[in-house]
Amino acid sequence: MMTLHDSVQLAAAKLKTHRVRTAIVVIIASLLFAGIVLVLTMLTGAARSAQSFGTEGLGSRYIVQARPIFDQQVFFAGTPEIIETFKARTIQLKADKKAVAKKLNLTYDATTDTNLPLMEGKNGSGGTEYYLNSNNPEVREALNTYAQAIPHIAFTDFSALAHQAGAKQFFQSATNPMNGGFMVGSSSQSSSVVPILGGKEQSNDQNKGGNMGEPRGVGTITSLGITYFDSSLMTPFVLPGQNLALGKDGALPVIAPMSVAEQVLGLQALPSTANAQQRLDRLVQLRTSIAGKTADLCYRNSASSDLLQQAKQQEKDIAANKGKTGYTMPALQYAAPTDACGAVSIKKDTRSAEEKKQAENELTFKKQFEDYREPDQQIMKIRIVGFSQDMSFQPGFSARSIVESVLHTGLGSGWFAPAEAVTDGSVADKLQPMLRKRMNTELVYYAEFSNLTSAKKFAKEASCDSKVSSNMMGPPQVGQQDPRVVDCYKQGKYFDISPFGNNASAIEDMRRGVWKVMRYVAPAVLVLASLVLMGIVGKIIADSRRETAVFRALGATRFTIAQIYLTYSLFIAAFVMMLSFVIGSGLALALSHKLSPDASIAAVLAYSAQDVHKQFTFYGVDMMYVVVILGLIALAALLSTALPLLTNIRRNPIRDMRDEN
């Protein structure tokens, strides 16, 4: 009777006899399973790193954010009622403007007037279409009234809904237009803010730069806007030793992009080719140097900014044409301010009395019919208490982009200030109106729960997950409704809700996503590996028919024969297990070593981690994954042996011996 020891010896002999063939099949199968080992090892490492960083920032709090759902088409095209109201108003304004212009001895052309509530245009069929002019103050007021009357999307509505689901705290913030906000008639885009360094007001072009024209520096306060948060949401991201109180000197505490901190400190931005160590050194330098640093910024509204540019251009033109014949000096010459953030003054005025009267009449007309504002410039003092990541528009695949896409935490990109520190009439209020001055459609709401389960349940049940596509083709039409908004309202859902500041849900979803993918990938690899192994095992079994027949003739049972080849397949499985884990783990370790430095810096910034040297790695071992992979390899080996073995042991041994002869 053949023992297990005999089966092992015979199986080992076959390995030696067919070593080349066995090596080839082991390598191929190992490469297939090594891919699974690589992916699962890196995802395990990323998930564990994310959990580790998750204790920073808002990671220990379970907060959801909700954006009110509303039909944005109205704010572009208007409703039939709003359009009809402004048709009559536009006709009246044209008549009034024409009469006043005549009285002031001015020329008025209604066809070129861009300040009317309604703008006219021709549609494809030649008919007249009307469009709301959101720059018109009357239109803005009408849209404000419309927004405030939209039911079910107010902060009180959201708070009541979240309270029923067990939320314990509620917050709100003003939207940042570049981060998904929608604002009507925002004046921040036409304003300018530049730093005052060394007692000199810097030029606007110093706020430009970055890759692909990305916004950088202090100028981002107008292009990205300021988001106002409740101070309790900002506290975890404040640098050590700092606070969010309005300074005695009036300095507004802000969390600003890194490029702002660099600009205030007079540092050149790192090149895009900077390595991870250079970026880490810069991060450490900024943390130690910028905390509590105050800076003066010069705010100018559009009128002041335009006047300053006109004064500078005049000075350039006069200098360039000095002494040239035929050049006429401007009758009204402006002088750029000598003091930082000063007002533009009149240097020389040689206009005739008639020209001055004409200019005075034009100003009177603007003040009566347009959203006219006197030039306004003001020094804004800020205190940098933390910094955020600069907004990036770079496409591509990198460790930094991977981490930023996974770690949906932190406050985001841009400028952030505590809502409690923004005072009425301050420069910050002029740039972005305070919360109480904003429409429902410009606010974001937050609810904090005591645990992740409650937060996820509320987000899933209360958020609208419409299957209707919001496929609005072409320019918005009056009365045209967004299908998605209509569908959401029918469901009684009025908010888009998502996790905020905590990546626990994202990690859980990522793990579930991995298993979903593995449901399809693992069987495919299993079948492919089984076929590869079956080719070599089947060939070996086929070549051993005479040998099998001899064993059978000597009294060996079918089970004994099967035992030899099953042992052989398990030997192969053991080799595949070792090689696949060596290759997969080795590649994962190498990739983690390469990607970890950039990923770590991105994670430190995203969470405002206290330890800047904290590592985000892509290498981790999960025993559950290991057991699953080992089981798949063993199953592949057994499946590859089963079919050819069943065929072989059922053959007639006498016939096989006769055929061999």
Q: How confident is the model at residue 639 (pLDDT cuts 50, 70, 90)?
A: confident
506 has pLDDT over 80: no
pLDDT tens for 101-150 read: 999 999 999 988 989 999 887 766 777 788 888 888 899 889 888 888 89
Order of strands across the sheet that contains 226-229: 200-201, 192-197, 293-300, 377-388, 252-257, 415-418, 226-229
Distances 571 to 85, 118, 568 between C-alpha atoms, Å: 85, 82, 5
Give one DSSP letter per residue of 112-146, joined into a string.
Answer: G-S-SSEEEEE-TTS-EEEEE-TTSHHHHHHHHHH
Q: Could you tell me which of 407, 404, 411, 406 has the C-alpha nearest to residue 388?
A: 411
| pLDDT at residue 647 in the model | 62
Task: Residue 159: name the closest of 363, 396, 443 by CA.
Answer: 443
The beta strand positions in 495-629, using DSSP E, are: 495-500
Lowest mean pLDDT among 62-76, 111-125, 143-157, 495-509: 495-509
Q: Which of 259-263, 440-444, 617-621, 643-647 has the least mean pLDDT?
A: 643-647
Averaged pLDDT for residues 610-636: 86
* Cβ-contact 440, 154 below 8 angstroms: yes
Element (H, E) at 197: strand 192-197
What one-letter code names the amino acid at 549?
A
Highest averaged pLDDT of the listed ranges 17-21, 313-317, 572-576: 313-317
Q: Percent of the chain, pLDDT > 70?
A: 78
Integer Rg of the chain from CA: 36
Q: Decide which of 393 and 150 is more confident.
A: 150
Whole-angstrom CA distances from 344 to 304, 305, 310 are 8, 10, 10
Buried b (16+ CB within 10 A) or exposed e, 45-78: bbbbbbebbbebbbbebbbbbbbbbbbebbbbbb
Q: What's the confidence (pLDDT) of residue 652?
A: 52
Residue 562 is predicted with a pLDDT of 65
- Say which amino acid occupies 110: A
Buried b (16+ CB within 10 A) or exposed e, 384-405: bbbbbbbbeeeeeeebbbbbbe
Would you report the helix, strand and coil content of the chain in percent, each value rounded to 5?
Answer: 55, 15, 30
Question: What pLDDT score was predicted for residue 392?
Answer: 62
Angle ∠(274,404,69) on CA atoms, nearest 5: 140
Q: Residue 349: pLDDT band by 50, 70, 90 thresholds?
A: very high
Question: If we measure between CA atoms, which residue out of 67, 33, 39 comes closest to residue 485?
Answer: 67
* Residue 208 confidence class, pLDDT cut points 50, 70, 90: very low
Q: How far apart are CA 315 and CA 310, in angstroms?
A: 9
Q: What is the mean pLDDT of the chain?
A: 81
Closest-CA residue to 107 (of 95, 98, 96): 98
Tokens of 435: 């919360």
Distance, CA of 591 to CA of 613 (rounded, Å): 19
Average pLDDT over residues 9-35: 74
Token readout for 46 is 């990323």
Q: Tell me: the pLDDT tens digits for 531-575?
A: 777 766 666 665 555 555 555 555 555 556 666 767 777 788 888
- Return the pLDDT at 602: 77
Write down the pLDDT at residue 330: 92
Dist. CA 639–CA 2, nearest whole Å: 24
- Between 505 and 465, whose confidence is greater? 465
Task: Count how many residues are written for the chain.
Answer: 661
> What is the separation of C-alpha 400 from the centre of its chain, rounded to a whole number of angstroms?
12
pLDDT score of 407: 56
From residue 118, give the alpha-carbon distance in Å to each of 20, 88, 90, 92, 147. Answer: 83, 10, 6, 12, 19
Report the DSSP pairing between strands 226-229 and 252-257: unpaired
pLDDT of residue 649: 56
DSSP class of residue 463 equals B
What tokens were used for 600?
């770590």
70, 150 contact by CB (below 8 A): yes
Integer Cα distance of 40 and 622 in angstroms: 8
pLDDT band at 435 (very low <50, low <70, confident <90, very high): confident
Per DSSP, what are the bridge partners of residue 10?
A: none
Is residue 164 pLDDT above 50, yes or no? yes
Looking at residue 577, its amino acid is M
Q: For residue 614, what pLDDT band results from cuts at 50, 70 and 90?
A: confident
The 10s digit of each residue's pLDDT in 193-207 is 888 888 888 876 544
425 φ, ψ (degrees, to nearest 5)? 85, -5
Higher pLDDT, 260 or 546: 260
Distance CA 216, CA 647 (A): 72
In single-letter form, the type of residue at position 218 comes to: V
H, E, C per residue of 407-446: CCCCCCCCEEEEHHHCCCCCHHHHHCCCHHHCCHHHEEEE
pLDDT of residue 176 exceeding 60, the answer is no
Q: 3-class DSSP state for residue 386?
A: strand
- Specify the 3-state DSSP secondary structure of 171: strand
Q: Look at residue 353 and tell me whether its pLDDT is greater than 90.
A: yes
The tally of CA atoms less than 13 A away on the side-chain side of residue 509 is 13
Distance CA 331, CA 349 (A): 6
The number of CA neighbours under 13 Å toward the Cβ of 446 is 22
Confidence (pTM): 0.74
Which residues lie closer than 8 Å to 102 by C-beta, 6 or more apart?
A: 108
Angle formed by the axes of helices 19-53 and 399-406, to 10°?
Answer: 50
Contacts of 518 (CB under 8 A, 6+ apart): 36, 40
Taking residues 568-583, report their average pLDDT.
Answer: 86
